Amino acid sequence: MSRKPKQLSSSDILAELQSLLEDFSEVLDRPDIRERVQALVPSVDKLRALGVSLMPEHVNAGARDRILAYFRKYPRTVIDGDELMVVSGIGEWARRVRELRVEFGWRINSGTTYKEMAADLAKDGETEALASLATDLDFDPLEMRPDQYVLTSDAHDRDAAYRWRVLNSIRKSKESVRDKILSYLKHNVGKPVLGEELRYLSPSSEWARRVRELRTEYGWAVASRMTGRPDLDVGVYVLEHERQARLNDRKIPDPVRVNVLRRDNYRCCVCDWSYSDRQPHDPRQFLELHHLEHHAKGGANVEKNLITLCNVHHDEVHRDKAATERVEEMASKF
């Protein structure tokens, strides 16, 4: 393999660019358009080289590496396509972004994904969730463009190729969008799934709504940062477990869910378990909301009728009358 020549410093390249532009100024008055265009080409090349030179030399193996290094330097940040053009030095940077996601498993969402998430919240009047999305992104999600991107976490999935194979086969199935999303989530129980992946299963922007319905109508534990898992990155979803909520405990609106979890400090009211305590061999694996007065018996989906329990204590409350009474006693302070 031949060694690459040492990269010129940005200031050297800038000096060359300045002198090229100086030369160009003399051509500017010439009548022939083509002559002017051709005279500008060296400056354009030099400008591109200047952009590439901004990245440290050790990540300078190729356009895709530079794009990845840039994302990893600024994770959870809205990055403009124009920035990627500068650091990559190529016009086809968008294809490299897709490769990073699809072939290498980097969790990169596009602006369209966030915009569609936000539009769904806006349509439902969920202003608080919308505001927290904007805070997390430090950007108005409703203003996001398709050529903007966010690396949601500085982690990548080594099984990327397999994930996209599964995704593609589900996409081709004849199921409804909701069922497609559910079956993809079921392939990834407990693992973060990108909004971008779920969006891929839907021919329109309806995916965000369908994800919400799975949680709030059908009782699947599809968690996200906005719905009571502040430990998750913005723009990823996790199906926490494969168990659909009991009929009584479905249909809790997201804002109510978030308020109850927050009030209970994201902990089981019986044993204090939280997601940060999760251990592989502990039967406690997730939190659920329990209706003090059962929903089926007329108990409302309001904060004072709901309490946070880990899955173990939730089971216990439904099984054991004494446990129910203890929980009711505890909840009387709300």
* DSSP assignment string, 266-283: TS-TTT---GGG--TT-S
User: Would you say 261 or 310 has its CB closer to Zn ion?
Assistant: 310
Q: What is the dihedral of CA 90, 94, 95, 98, to 10 degrees?
A: 140
User: Would you say 103 or 277 has its CB closer to Zn ion?
Assistant: 277
Say which residue the tokens 């990823």 belong to.
Answer: 236
The β-bridge partners of 194 are: 236
Q: How far is the CB of 238 from Zn ion (least distance, A)?
A: 20
Q: How far is the CB of 329 from Zn ion (least distance, A)?
A: 16
User: Would you say 73 or 326 has its CB closer to Zn ion?
Assistant: 326
Contacts of 106 (CB under 8 A, 6+ apart): 68, 71, 100, 151, 156
C-beta of residue 141 within 8 angstroms of C-beta of residue 117: yes
Q: How far is the CB of 206 from Zn ion (least distance, A)?
A: 30
Tokens of 239: 């199906």
Q: How far is the CB of 289 from Zn ion (least distance, A)?
A: 8
User: Would you say 4 or 333 has its CB closer to Zn ion?
Assistant: 333
Tokens of 210: 């369908």
User: Would you say 54 or 271 has its CB closer to Zn ion?
Assistant: 271
Residues within the interface to Zn ion (CB under 5 A): 249, 268, 270-271, 273, 290, 310, 313
Q: How far is the CB of 1 from Zn ion (least distance, A)?
A: 58
User: Would you say 42 or 299 has its CB closer to Zn ion?
Assistant: 299
C-beta of residue 181 within 8 angstroms of C-beta of residue 202: yes
Q: How far is the CB of 310 from Zn ion (least distance, A)?
A: 3
Tokens of 333: 């302070």
Residue 227, CB half-sphere, CA atoms under 13 Å: how many?
Answer: 25
